[in-house]
């Protein structure tokens, strides 16, 4: 069974700062199957990154994804007020077929 771990659990930063979020898989995975989502309070998740590093349509270029194997990173280069939210990584494959990480909350310092 694949397990995803995200760190840190909470990241307290100020607008304009850089955010680095980590997602670690329990086994090596294909980067094709790793995606990142943003969830603002009271809203459904929104796709940010797919294939570990490809930005979804309409996503600002301050969001970037990288990584391979078991370690993946979501970077927000300069935080805007609307970026304070919870971020989930998600993996496709194995059992269960779809797995979400526990999330990282980015809140205002």
Partner 1 sequence: QVQLQESGPGLVKPSETLSLTCTVSGASISSSSYYWSWIRQPAGKGLEWIGRISTSGSTNYNPSLANRVTISDDTSKNQFSLKLSSVTAADTAVYYCARWDSVYVYFDFWGQGSLVTVSS
Query: What is the rounded distance in angstroms from the CA atom of residue 53 to the CA atom of residue 47?
Result: 12
Measuring CA to CA, which residue among 20, 6, 32 is closest to residue 100? Answer: 6
Residue choice 25, 45, 83, 85 for contact with partner 1 (CB under 8 A): 45
Give the one residue of 12, 96, 107, 108 binding partner 1; rule: CB under 8 A: 96
Minimum Å gap between C-beta 17 and partner 1 is 25
Q: Which stretch binds partner 1 (CB under 8 A): 21-29, 50-58, 60-68, 69-77?
A: 50-58
Is 90 one of the binding residues for partner 1 (CB under 8 A)?
yes
Length, in residues, of the chain:
109
**CB distance 8 to 103 below 8 Å:** no
Tell me if 51 contacts partner 1 by CB under 8 A: yes
């Amino acid at each position: 069974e694949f397990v995803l771990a995200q760190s840190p659990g909470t990241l307290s930063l100020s607008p304009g700062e850089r955010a680095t979020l980590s997602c670690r898989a329990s086994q090596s995975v294909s980067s094709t199957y790793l995606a990142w989502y943003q969830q603002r309070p009271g809203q459904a998740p929104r796709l940010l990154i797919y294939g570990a590093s490809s930005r979804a349509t309409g996503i600002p270029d301050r969001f970037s994804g990288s990584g391979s194997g078991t370690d993946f990173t979501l970077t927000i280069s300069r935080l805007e007020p609307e970026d304070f939210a919870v971020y989930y990584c998600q993996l496709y494959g194995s059992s269960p077929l779809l797995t979400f990480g526990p999330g990282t909350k980015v809140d205002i310092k």
